[in-house]
Structures are given as C-alpha cells and as structure tokens.
Structure 1
Amino acid sequence: MSNRRWLIGLIVLVVGLGYILSQFILSTMKINELVQQIGHSNAETAQVKYVVLISQELDNPFWREMEKGAEAAADRLGIKLGYIGPIRSNPAEQIRLLEKAITARPDAILVQGMADPGYDQLISAAADQGIPVLTVDADEPESRRLAYVGTDNRAAGEQLGRLVLQDASSNGRIGVIIGSELADNQRLRLEGFRSIIAASPDHEIVDIRSSNISHIGAAQQTKDMLSQDGDIGMIVGFSSLDAGGIVEGIKAAHKEGVRVYGFDDLEITRQGIARGEIIASIVQQPREIGAKSIEWLSSFFNGEKLSDRYYIPTYILEQEASAVGGVRP
C-alpha cells in the first residue's frame, strides 16, 4: 500500500512539474509571438497604433477583466492590443517583460507600477525612445510615466477602514493580509486603512502578513495568524485573492465568529458574501481601468494633453447588495 501511495505521489509530482514547464514554454512563445506581431504591425502601417498591456499575473481574473475593457476600447478606436504577463506573480518577470516590450518598440505600454529603481530606469528608457508608458492598478509617480489610470488606492484603504469601524460585532482586534509587500497599491491601501483605524481607540491592527497574491498563501497566513493569536476578531484582505483564502484559513484554524473583509468581486468573494462568510468587499472596476487607459492613449496619440492621473471609483459590495446584484456607494 505504501509503495502504491508513493507511486501515485510521484505521478502527481511529475504531472505538476510538466504543467508548470508547459506553461512557461507557452508564456515564452507568446512573448516572442507578440514581438513579431508588433514588428509586422509597424512594418504594415504607421496609422495603426500597437499597445502592449503587461499584467501582474497572466490569468488573474482582475487582469483578465482589465484586458477585456482595454480590448473593447482598442477595437472601437482602431488600436491593436497585445496582452502578456507572468504565469505567477513575479516582479523579476514583469521587469523582463517590460524590457522585451521596449525592445519590440510598440506605440505605447500599459504596465503596473512597481517600487523598483530598475523599473524606473526602464520607463525612462522607453520615454527616451518615444514610447509612452501609462501605469495602471499601481502608480509609479516618481518615474517618467505618461500618466496613471486606476484606483485611488489610499482612498480605497480609507474606505475599507470606515467600513470596518461600522462593524459592532467585532472585538476590535484586526489582522491584515496584504497581497505583496513590494506592490505600491498594497502599501497605499494599508496606509489609508491604518490612518482610519488609528483614530479609533476601540480598534487595533495586531498582525500584518503577505499572501504573495495567492489564495493558498492567504489561507496559510490566516491559519498561522489565528494559531498565534486566537483573539483576533476581524481579518481584512487587500488583494483580490485574499478574502476567499482568509475564509479557508479560518476554517482550517477551526475558528468561528471572525469577521472577514476583502477587495474586489471575484466569484468566490461574491459567494462568500452571499453565504455570510465575508461581510463586505471594496470593489475596483478593472474593465473601466482598461478601457479608460486605451481612451487616454488614443487622446495622447491625437495630440491632446493629459492630466497626471485619472482615478476610477470603487464601491462596496455586501450581502444585501450581492443578493440583488446591486452595490452600495
């Protein structure tokens, strides 16, 4: 029996490694294909603009929604759009993809901001070559980026903080799961949230951990957090995959009555709200971010002057609104 289990485990491991390798190869092929497409597009006509959208994670639902919004706007405005990204969230891979995109010389690049000096240098290199870079989701305000289109992340953190203070069912001890310690949008959300919580004598942030933009990571960090401090009455997540993972981690820790708040409206988050496992979520509008980014680039191509940034509003999704498909402003 033990040999059989060992064989099954080995087969599962080999299949898993094979899948990861195949995804890496497909990603590399897609990048090379994109470079060729840009070259063909530039050779065919100077009238059609080619824009590259570099995601944080290729198949993350948030970024796929942004791609859909950008694609719809690009089709309407006669712009060609390329979409690439790491298989898993990987800052080093994002930098490599930005380097690749610049080498291919598209007409513009949409990319998530990243707190990295090398990233700023790449954005400057693109600007030197006449390639405008527009940041989305997270800003890179000290760089030479053209503009930022996305959520006002500090304001969204404040919005979540005010929502949490309205919850009278918690003991006020708060655990926090952030998606990444490197992402500027996560840092700003945490800053905004802290500023609101700090003003309340009845609430305290007792633990902060990173999920590494992973449902499994959020679940594990939540379980560990509750194992070390069983008196935490509320856990909030700042990235789209966190809330569902937090619920799973609470169950794994065999805890009850822990209040959960999250970000965005993935199907798992909507289901959790409908079941009462998640109290509410601050929802961004990635399709609007994608669409507005392309619209702004179209205006720029036509010689119009853009402002420094454009904020797409967020809204609150909670149980009553989720049940009827509505939202609370």
Structure 2
Amino acid sequence: MPTILFRCIRYLPVVAACLLLVAGTGCKEAIDSTQQPTLPAINEETQHAAYTLAVIYPMSHPFFEPVTKEAEEAARQAQVNIIVKSPEEANLEQQIRMMENLIKQQVDGIAIDPVDPDALTPYINKAVEAGIKVICFDSDAPDSKRLSFIGSHNRQAGIRLGQTVAELMNGRGMIIASTGMNTMMNMREREEGFKDALKAHPDIQLLELRSNHGDPAISLQNLEEMIEAHPHFDAFVGFDSLSGPSAIMVWKAKGLTQTAVAFDDMPEILEGIRNGQLTATVSQQESRWGYLIVTRLIEAIKNKDIPAIDDSGSVVITKDNVDTFR
C-alpha cells in the first residue's frame, strides 16, 4: 500500500480568453458504458460569463487522479473554471469547511464525494438553498437536496465482488476483508451486496472485516493482524482503494499465494494483477466521472433536466483482461 498520498490538487482557473467551440448534445437518460458522455454545446452566454464549478474529494489519493484529469479537460473545453479540493486524509470537518467556503464564494456548482452523508446533508442543502447546483459522486447523500449521483451502483458492485470471490474459491473457504470509512454510503452498500452474494455459498465463511477509516497505515496494520489471527484464511477481499495496495505489499513481503481480490483499477493494482499479487479487482470505470461531473453541473446550471443517477457500471479485471478491459 503506498503511504504517500497524491499532491493536493490546486485551484486551476481556466483561461477564458482561449475560446473553443465544443460540439455537444443534451443530457441522456442512460449512459452507454462503451462511450464517454459528450459535453453540452458552448454558447455565447457561457463564453461571456464563465461558470465556476468545484469538486470536493473525501481525501487526497491517486484513485482520484483520472477523475481530476478528465474534469479539468472537460472544464477547459467548456470554458468554465474549476476548483478541486481534498483533505490530506479523510476528514469530515475539513469537508464541511470546504462546503461552507464554497457557499461563501458563491460558486455555481459543487460535486462532492461525502465522507458522512448524514453529517454533510445540512451543508449540501444549504448550498442548494443558496442557488448552487450540487451533485454527489462515488458515495451518495440520498436524503439531501442534491440533484444527482454519479458513480457505480455500489450494492451491485458488491454483489459482483462476492460472486467473483465465490467463483475463485470454488464455493468454499474462509475470508478476511478490509473496508474504508464505515460512515461512507458506498462502503456500506458494497459490504451489503457482498454479504448478500455469499448467502448463496454457505461453505464460505467471512472470518473478519475491519475498517481502515481511510488511513493507509491502518489498512496495512489491519491486514497484517488479520493474517496473524487467521493464518489458515483462503482469500482476502478489499472494498476500498486502500485495501488492494496493502494486499500487494503484504503478498510481496510474505510470499503469500491465497486469493486476493481488490476494488478499483489504479495503476498499482493493475500491476499487482500482472505480477500475481492480486487475483482480481472490480473497476468502477471512474475515469468517466470527471466528464460527467462537469457536463451535469453545466446542464443543471442551465436549468436542464439531468438524470437522477449516472451509473458508470463495474467490470471485473483479471490477468486475462488486465491489458484490454478499457
């Protein structure tokens, strides 16, 4: 597990003087999983008064780098300003302060990956009541006034993860597992889906599931302690972007051969699959989130209808398709 979190993403204003014409379409009710969504057309109104959009991550981590890259490119093409913020570590108080500051700045739109949907719902509602368009991505706050959710259907992704693990284990054996912040809705939904999938396999036992609270050091420590406590385990499962890299480090150090299934498709995880430290991973196809965030916020600002959910889907990656799944 890498212990160095990626750099804090700085404010990146888009130079409005560089005018580009972007061909676009209206919003779609469903997203084709084989295509990137198109951007809304640029018109004279947006050329003369650029919008300011903001993205708030739960923490600084390489998982979000492709999302930032695509969001910045989409913002450049659409000639809007974009602010990207993230706490160094998963932190509710910092996300709240970021929301409050963006409301004071009167930005036009906010996309947030909330670390605690219940605690952040009042601040999401406050932003909406101030006239700011708000959407959630990756993890949802469904009881808030947010307009839309962008990301994979996390419960279905958890079911798919469980089915994949059961198949790799031939329907029997013992599992240890690691998850992220247990306040995040995406983590809870993946765990629920995973456990539901295992109900069809009574000979598979989930020995222990630990939360790393969004901390890579805790993720590594938890895994090492679970292996020591359950030396006869047959498989490890990770529900978040920290658990897979932790498994790679431990499998390398200990020369383990047990099944290890992770979540997400960061370069380190893909390399772990190629090298045999990981058996499989479930990708959320998050690279498309950046375009969707910018597209949907612009459409919402223009008072266009946007889908309540943009499901980016999920795909299982193994050594057989690690170089072709995209």
Contact 2:115 2:181 in 1 (8 A): no
Kindly state the Cα deviation for residue 320 of structure 1 after the two structures are TM-superposed.
Answer: 1.7
Report SS of the residue matched to 1:320: coil
Contact 1:218 1:246 in 2 (8 A): no
2:132 matched residue in structure 1: 131
Contact 2:117 2:140 in 1 (8 A): no
Worse overlay, 290-299 or 213-222? 213-222
Report SS of the residue matched to 2:186: helix
1:47 matched residue in structure 2: 49
Amino acid at match of 2:78: L
Change (3 A) 1:277 1:118: closer
Change (3 A) 1:168 1:278: same
Query: Matches of 1:135 and 1:259 in 2, distance apart?
Result: 33
1:233 matched residue in structure 2: 234
1:291 matched to 2:320? The reply is no
Change (3 A) 1:177 1:278: same
Change (3 A) 1:232 1:211: same
Report SS of the residue matched to 1:134: strand
Q: Which has the higher helix share?
A: 1
Percent identity of the aligned residues?
A: 25
Aligned partner (choices 38, 55, 58) of residue 56 of structure 1 = 58
Kindly state the Cα deviation for residue 171 of structure 1 after the two structures are TM-superposed.
Answer: 4.9
1:90 matched residue in structure 2: 91
Report SS of the residue matched to 1:64: helix
1:1-329 map, 5 Å: 47-58=49-60, 60-168=61-169, 171-250=172-251, 254=254, 256-322=256-322, 325-327=323-325
Kindly state the Cα deviation for residue 255 of structure 1 after the two structures are TM-superposed.
Answer: 6.8
Amino acid at match of 2:69: K
Structure 1: any 5+ residue segments left out of the alignment?
1-18, 39-44
Kindly state the Cα deviation for residue 117 of structure 1 after the two structures are TM-superposed.
Answer: 3.5
Contact 2:251 2:277 in 1 (8 A): no
Contact 1:175 1:205 in 2 (8 A): yes
State the aligned residue count.
292
Query: Matches of 2:178 and 2:313 in 1, distance apart?
Result: 22
Query: Matches of 1:319 and 1:86 in 2, distance apart?
Result: 34
Report SS of the residue matched to 2:52: strand
Kindly state the Cα deviation for residue 263 of structure 1 after the two structures are TM-superposed.
Answer: 0.8
> What whole-Å deviation, never above 9, does each CA across 1:172-217 have from its counterpart, x for those lacking one?
2111100111111111111110100122111111100112334432
Amino acid at match of 2:290: G
Report SS of the residue matched to 1:321: coil
Query: Matches of 1:246 and 1:318 in 2, distance apart?
Result: 16
Larger RCO of the pair (alpha carbons < 8 Å, separation 6+)? 2
Query: Matches of 1:117 and 1:183 in 2, distance apart?
Result: 9
Amino acid at match of 2:212: S
Worse overlay, 141-150 or 243-252? 243-252
Query: Matches of 1:177 and 1:168 in 2, distance apart?
Result: 18
- Provide TM-score, normalisation by structure 2: 0.82
Contact 2:162 2:197 in 1 (8 A): yes
> What whole-Å deviation, never above 9, does each CA across 1:90-115 have from its counterpart, x for those lacking one?
22211211111111110000101343
Report SS of the residue matched to 2:321: helix
Contact 1:114 1:140 in 2 (8 A): no
Contact 1:223 1:250 in 2 (8 A): no
Query: Matches of 2:301 and 2:133 in 1, distance apart?
Result: 10
Query: Matches of 1:255 and 1:230 in 2, distance apart?
Result: 13
Change (3 A) 1:255 1:230: farther
Kindly state the Cα deviation for residue 80 of structure 1 after the two structures are TM-superposed.
Answer: 1.3
Amino acid at match of 1:164: V
- In our comparison, the structure showing a higher alpha carbon Rg is 1
Query: Matches of 2:242 and 2:117 in 1, distance apart?
Result: 24
1:3 matched residue in structure 2: none
